[in-house]
Amino acid sequence: MTNTFDFTVKAADGSDVPMSDFAGKALLIVNVASKCGLTPQYEALEALYEENKDKGLEIIGFPCNQFGGQEPGTDEEIQEFCSLTYDVKFPIMRKIDVNGEGADPLFSYLRAADPGDFQPVIPRLWDALKQMNPETFGTDEVKWNFTKFLVGRDGNVIRRYEPYVSPADIAADLPEALG
């Protein structure tokens, strides 16, 4: 049976990172972007990381430019932005696709493990995304930047959080992942 720890991803410098390096930790895996209205979530993600890293939580960011071209930079530029703008200490990997034929296999697995339940919580966001990415609705595809997947210490997906869910709101589910 496949789980998150069976995959290998690329670090920003292009080196291979076996997800098994994180075995035994709870993970919050996030597709990120530096020019998105949700980019300030970096600050809350970093706060969540700092508060829980010693308890066994690892946050891993995966830059993606598939949504409105909001991650146009090079991997080096993205690293610099995250460090200088938000003082991000959790790993930011190489830029990837999270949807479509070129989707990174890890994200294909995560999407299949929890197809999500994108709700019209914020009507303007719902309408805008439905206009920009109508093909993603009714599918397991990631709808926008800052979709988050919580993974337990066993490597299995616990829950998917849509972009509008604040990292602070995820804190309530961490005991389940860290337990």
pLDDT digit string (tens) for 117-131? 766 555 666 566 667
Q: What is the rounded CA–CA span in Å between residue 38 and residue 145?
A: 7
Domains defined along the chain, listed by start: 4-169 (3.40.30.10)
Bridge-based pairing state of the strands 57-63 and 16-18: unpaired
61, 166 contact by CB (below 8 A): no
Q: How confident is the model at residue 42 (pLDDT cuts 50, 70, 90)?
A: very high
Give the DSSP letter of residue 65.
-
Which phi and psi angles does 63 have, rounded to 5°? Answer: -60, 145
pLDDT at 137: 64
Indicate the residue type of 91: P
pLDDT digit string (tens) for 147-164? 999 999 999 999 999 898
Say yes or no to pLDDT of 105 above 90. yes
Indicate the residue type of 150: L
71, 95 contact by CB (below 8 A): yes
pLDDT at 95: 98
Say yes or no to pLDDT of 8 above 70. yes
Give the chain's end-to-end CA distance (angstroms, integer).
22
pLDDT over 70 for what percent of the chain?
Answer: 88
Look up the pTM and report it.
Answer: 0.91
Distances (CA, A) of 29 to 46, 86, 90, 126, 150: 13, 18, 11, 22, 7
CA nearest to 56, candidates 21, 6, 11, 22: 22
Catalytic residues, by residue number, are 36
3-state DSSP call for residue 130? helix
Bridge-based pairing state of the strands 157-161 and 148-151: antiparallel
